[in-house]
């Protein structure tokens, strides 16, 4: 579909975006933003996160899934020589992206 150079560029761009959104996500779970690390996992704290930072979590979900699964795709392209097998792997990764993105979106939007 795309040239590998374009996939690489997208991978770098999503990495840069991840540094920001994942940074925010982690910061909201550690002191001093929460009293203790495990207090940040209380149901109330997690639901507050969904309500107040839902859009960050949605971006994080899609970008992390894309970056991670595209990384696996790159790995698969390096070790698999069989074209049919590559098509199967690519299709499986796209399906996994759609399923996980939909499932995660449902969880976040339920409380957003």
Partner 1 sequence: MHMGEEIMNKKKIHLYENEYGILGHLYKHVLMNPERIAFTLHRITGIGMVLYLVLHVYMTSLTLDPLRWASFLTTIENPLVRFGEWLLAGAVIYHGLNGIRLILTEALGIGLGKPRRKAVYPLVSPSIRAAQRKSLYLVFALSLVGWIIAGYIIFSGG
Residues that bind partner 1 (CB under 8 A): 8-9, 12, 15-16, 18-19, 22, 26, 30-31, 36-39, 41-43, 46-47, 50, 61, 64-65, 68-69, 71-72, 75, 96, 100, 103-104, 106-107, 110-111
Indicate if the alpha-carbon torsion angle 72, 73, 76, 78 is positive or negative: negative
Cα Rg, the chain, nearest whole Å: 17
- Rounded least distance, CB 42 to partner 1, Å: 8
Using a 10 angstrom Cβ sphere, with 0-12 exposed, 13-18 middle and 19 or more buried, the burial of residue 24 is middle
> Quick one: 35 or 91, whose CB is closer to partner 1?
35
Closest to partner 1 by CB, 83 vs 88, is 88
């Amino acid at each position: 579909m795309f040239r590998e150079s374009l996939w690489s560029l997208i991978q770098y761009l999503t990495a840069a975006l991840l540094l920001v959104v994942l940074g925010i996500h982690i910061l909201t779970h550690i002191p001093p933003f929460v009293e203790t690390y495990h207090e940040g996992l209380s149901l109330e704290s997690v639901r507050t996160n969904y309500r107040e930072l839902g859009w960050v979590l949605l971006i994080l979900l899609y970008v992390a899934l894309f970056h991670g699964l595209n990384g696996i795709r790159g790995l698969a392209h390096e070790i698999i020589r069989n074209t049919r097998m590559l098509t199967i792997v690519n299709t499986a990764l796209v399906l996994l992206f759609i399923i996980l993105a939909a499932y995660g979106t449902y969880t976040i939007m339920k409380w957003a």
